[in-house]
Structure 1
Amino acid sequence: MGKEKEFWLLLLLITCFFFRPLFGGETFYFRDLYLHTYPDKQFFVNSLRSAQVPLWNSFLLGGEPYINNISTSALYPLNLLFFIFPFIHAFNIFIVTHFLLAAIGAYFFARTLALTPLSSFLVGAIYTLCGAMLSSANLPGLIFDMPYLPLIWACWHLFLLRRTRRWFVLSVVFGVFQALAWTHEGNEITMLSLLGWTLCYPYPHKTSAIRKILLWLLVTVLIIGCCAIVLVPAIEIVKHSGRQYQLNAEEFARFSLHPKRLLELVFPNFFGSVNAIRPRDAYWGWNLVGQYPPIMLNIYFGWITLTLACLGAWLPTVSADEKFSAHVRRYCVMLALCFLLGSLGNFLPFFSTLYKAIPFLDFLFHSPEKLVIGAILPISLLAGYASERCCRIYAEKNEWHGRLLWISWGLTCVSAALFVSFRRFPQAQFWWLSEFFQRVTDETIARQGLASSFFHATVMMGLFSLLMLYRKYFPNRWQQLLLVGIIVIDLWGAGARINFYAPRDFFTDIPKAAKLVKHAIGDSRLFVADVPSNSSLKAPSNEMMWLSRWSLETLSGYSGYMYGIPVIFHDDANNLGQKYIVQLHQMLKQFAWSQRIPILSSGAVSLMITHENLTLPGIEKIAEIPNDSNLRFFLYRNTRAASRTTFVTQAQIVQSDDAALARLTQPDFDPRTAVILFDEDVAVKRFISPQQPMRPADIHIERRSVNSMTVNVSTTQPGYLVLSEPFYPGWEATVDGKPAPQLRANLAFTAIPIPAGEHIVTRQYVPRLFYDGAWVSLGFCILTVLITRKIHTLTP
Structure 2
Amino acid sequence: MTRRELASTLAFLTAAALLLAWPWLSGAVTVPWDAKSQFFPAQAFLARALATGQSPFWTADAFAGWPEIADPQSLIFSIPHLILAWLQPTPGFRAVDGVSFATLGAGALGIVMIFRDRRWHSAGALVAALAFMFGGVCASRIQHTGEVMSAAYFPLALWLLLRTLERRSITYAALCGVAVAAIASGRDQVAMIGLYLLALFVLLHWLDGADHVKRVVASIKPLFVCGVIAVLLAIIPIVLTWLLAGESNRPEIIYAEAARGSLHPMHLLTLAFSDLYGAVDESVPYWGPASYPWGETGLVLAQNMAQLYAGALPLVALIGLALTSRSLWQREVRCFTIACIAAILFALGWYTPLFRVAYEAFPGISYFRRPADAAFLFCALFAIVAGYSVHRLLMIEERAFRRAIVAALIALLAAISAALAGAIVTGTLRVALWPVAVGTAFLIAAIATLWFVRRTSPSPLLAAALLAAFMAADLSYNNGPNVSTGLAPDNYEELLTGTRNKTVALLKSSVDMSTGGARRDRIEVAAIEYHWPSLGLVHGFESLFAQNPLRLRDFQQVTGVGDTVAVAEQRTFSPLFPSYRSTMADLLGLRFLALGVPAEQIDKKLSPGDLKLLARTEDAYVYENPRALPRVMIVPGARQAEFVDLVRTGWPDGVDPRKGLLLNRAPPLADQARREGTATIRRYTNTEAVIEADAADGGYLLLNDVWHPWWRATIDGTATEILKANVMFRAIVLPPGKHTVRFTYHPFIGAWQQLRRKLGLT
Following superposition, the deviation at residue 713 of structure 1 comes to 0.9
**Which of residues 37, 41, 44 in structure 1 aligns to 2:39?**
37
Provide the residue aligned with 1:538 in structure 2: none
For the 8 Å contact 1:33–1:140, the answer to whether it is kept is: yes
1:81 corresponds to: 84
- What is the CA distance between 1:651 and its match in structure 2? 1.5
Which one of the candidate residues 736, 753, 756 is aligned to 2:716? 736
**2:760 — aligned with what?**
none
Please state if 1:345 is matched with 2:345: no
Contact in 1 for aligned 2:164/2:170 (Cα 8 Å) = yes
Give the CA RMSD over aligned residues.
3.5
Tell me the residue number matched to 1:658: 644
TM-score by length of 2: 0.84
Cα displacement (A) at 1:481 = 4.9
Equivalents in 2 of 1:416, 1:249: separation in Å? 34
**Residue identity matched to 1:579:** R
Partner of 1:578: 552
**What is the distance in 1 between the residues matched to 2:99 and 2:446?**
35
Aligned match of 2:235: 228
- Number of aligned residue pairs: give it: 709
The answer to whether the aligner puts 1:50 opposite 2:52 as a matched pair is yes
Return closer, same or farther for 1:90/1:709 CA change in 2, 3 Å cut-off.
Answer: same
The amino acid that maps onto 1:526 is I
Q: How far apart in 2 are the matches of 1:646 and 1:600?
A: 15
Aligned mate of 1:251, from 233, 247, 257: 257
Following the alignment from structure 1 to structure 2, what is the Cα–Cα distance between the partners of residues 122 and 191? 25
In 2 relative to 1, CA 474–14 (structure 1 residues): closer, same or farther, beyond 3 Å? closer
Q: Answer whether contact 1:528 1:608 (CA < 8 A) is retained.
A: yes
SS at match of 1:18: helix
Listed as ranges, the matches of 1:645-684 within 5 Å are 645-654=632-641, 656-661=642-647, 664-666=650-652, 668-679=654-665, 684=667
Q: Deviations over 1:72-102 (max 9, x none)?
A: 2313321213333561042122122122212
Q: Report the Cα offset of residue 582 of structure 1.
A: 1.6
- Whether the 8 Å CA contact 2:311–2:475 is kept in 1: the answer is yes
User: Distance in 2 between the 1:273 and 1:199 partners?
Assistant: 38
Q: 1:473 to 1:574 in 2, by over 3 A?
A: closer
The answer as to 2:541 corresponding to 1:565 is yes
2:508 is the counterpart of 1:518? yes
Q: Is the 8 A contact 2:41 2:534 kept in 1?
A: no
Residue 138 of structure 1 deviates from its aligned partner by: 0.8
Unaligned runs of 5+ in 1: 319-323, 420-428, 532-548, 774-796
Q: CA deviation at 1:185?
A: 2.7
- Residue 384 to residue 662, structure 1, CA distance change in 2 (3 Å): closer
Deviations 1:413-471 (A, max 9, x none): 5678899xxxxxxxxx7xx656634xx5xx5xx734x2332222222222233355567
The letter of the residue matching 1:14 is: A
1:620 aligns with 611
Q: Where does residue 160 of structure 2 map in the other structure?
A: 155
Q: 1:492 aligns with which of 466, 476, 483?
A: 476
* Alpha-carbon spacing, 1:768–1:459, altered in 2? closer, same or farther (3 Å): closer
Correspondence for 1:718: 698
2:425 and 2:176 mapped to 1: Cα distance?
A: 47
Q: What SS does the aligned partner of 2:599 have?
A: coil
Which residue of the partner structure matches residue 190 of structure 1? 194
Tell me whether 1:600 sits opposite 2:558 in the alignment. Answer: no
C-alpha contact 1:60 1:566 (8 A) present in aligned 2: yes
3-state secondary structure, aligned to 1:226: helix
**Deviation at residue 191 of structure 1 after TM alignment:** 2.6
1:412-561 paired onto structure 2 within 5 Å: 436-437=425-426, 447-448=430-431, 450-467=432-449, 475-477=457-459, 481-498=465-482, 499-503=485-489, 506=493, 507-508=495-496, 509-522=499-512, 523-528=520-525, 531=527, 550-552=529-531, 555=532, 557-561=533-537
User: Kindly, what percent of the aligned residue pairs are identical?
Assistant: 19
Among residues 90, 99, 102, which one is paired with 2:104 in the alignment? 99
C-alpha contact (below 8 Å) 2:123/2:465 kept by paired residues = yes
- Distance of 1:206 and 1:282 partners within structure 2: 50
Give the structure 1 partner of residue 629 of structure 2: 642
CA distance in 1, matches of 2:300, 2:614: 34
The amino acid that maps onto 1:516 is: L
User: CA deviation digits over 1:99-130, x for unaligned, max 9?
Assistant: 22122121122212211323211221111121
Q: What one-letter code is carried by the residue in structure 2 that aligns with 1:380?
A: A
For 1:410 and 1:317, the matched residues in 2 are separated by 18
Instruction: Give the gaps of 5 or more residues in structure 2.
Output: 513-519, 562-571, 754-762
- Secondary structure in 2 matching 1:236: helix
| CA distance 1:693–1:34, change in 2 (3 Å) | farther
**Residue pairs, 1:297-308, within 5 angstroms:** 298-308=307-317
Q: Aligned to 1:672, what secondary structure does the other structure show?
A: coil
Where 1:306 maps in the other structure, the secondary structure is helix
Q: What is the identity, as a one-letter code, of the residue corresponding to 2:627?
A: R
- C-alpha contact 1:621 1:634 (8 A) present in aligned 2: no
Cα pair distance change 1:330/1:310, threshold 3 Å: farther
**Partner residue of 2:686?**
706
Q: C-alpha separation between the residues in 1 aligned to 2:631 and 2:374? A: 43
269, 273, 276: which one aligns with 1:270: 276
Deviation, 1:755, is: 1.8
Correspondence for 1:747: 727
TM-score normalised per structure 1: 0.81
User: Are the aligned partners of 2:184 and 2:192 in contact in 1 as well (CA < 8 Å)?
Assistant: no
Distance 1:696 1:663, change over 3 A: farther
Distance 1:257 1:625, change over 3 A: farther
Alpha-carbon distance, 1:337 to partner: 2.0
SS at match of 1:158: helix
Write the distance in 2 (CA, Å) between the matches of 1:281 and 1:228: 42
Aligned match of 1:388 = 391
Cα offset for 1:13?
1.0
Partner SS for 1:64: coil
Aligned to 1:777: none
3-state SS of 1:461 partner: helix
| CA displacement at 1:493 relative to structure 2 | 2.1
Q: Deviations over 1:577-599 (max 9, x none)?
A: 32211211227634584586122
CA 472–753 in structure 1, closer or farther in 2 if over 3 Å, else same: closer
1:373 paired with 2:376, answer yes
One-letter amino acid of the counterpart of residue 521, structure 2? S
